[in-house]
Amino acid sequence: MKTKEQLIEFIQKQKVALIASVDEEGFPNMKAMFVPRKMEGNSFYFTTNTSSLRSQQYMKNPKASIYFYNKGRFKYEAVMLTGIMEVLQDEEIKREIWRDGDTMYYKQGVSDPDYCVLKFTAERGRHYCNFINKSFCMEELE
């Protein structure tokens, strides 16, 4: 990954994000989700249920990782980011992230107590492409 712009561009093209949390015994837990609904600076915003296992784990231990990949016919490219995940209940961010059709998951709408926003703030990452791995700090990206 050469620039932050290229990182964001790569992530926006993906259909799935894998997010990881840490359970009470210190083991990583992975889950596939839709890609972030909002990306701003080093922060990535997802929606989920407040009652979900992941949300509960992040409230206890905010250490997290997100992973995006593209498996082409001849090329595999991936980005893993590590950082901190916050569980947000703020009405303003919930409204901003809300989309038509979300009532399918959150029956009471934006104010549904079981609707929350996960805000992941990346600190560092690792990029893989063409058999080359490169680690980076988010501040180092242009």
The CA distance from 8 to 133, in Å, is 18
Q: Tell me the sheet residues that pair with 84.
A: 63, 121
Cβ contact 69:77 at 8 Å = yes
140 — pLDDT class (breaks 50, 70, 90): confident
What is the model's pTM?
Answer: 0.93
pLDDT at residue 1 tops 70: no
Judged against a pLDDT cut of 90, whether residue 110 lies above it is answered with: yes
Q: What is the pLDDT of residues 58-72, one digit of tens each?
A: 999 999 999 999 998
pLDDT tens, position by position, 77-93: 999 999 999 999 999 99
With 80 as the cut, is the pLDDT of residue 2 above it?
A: no
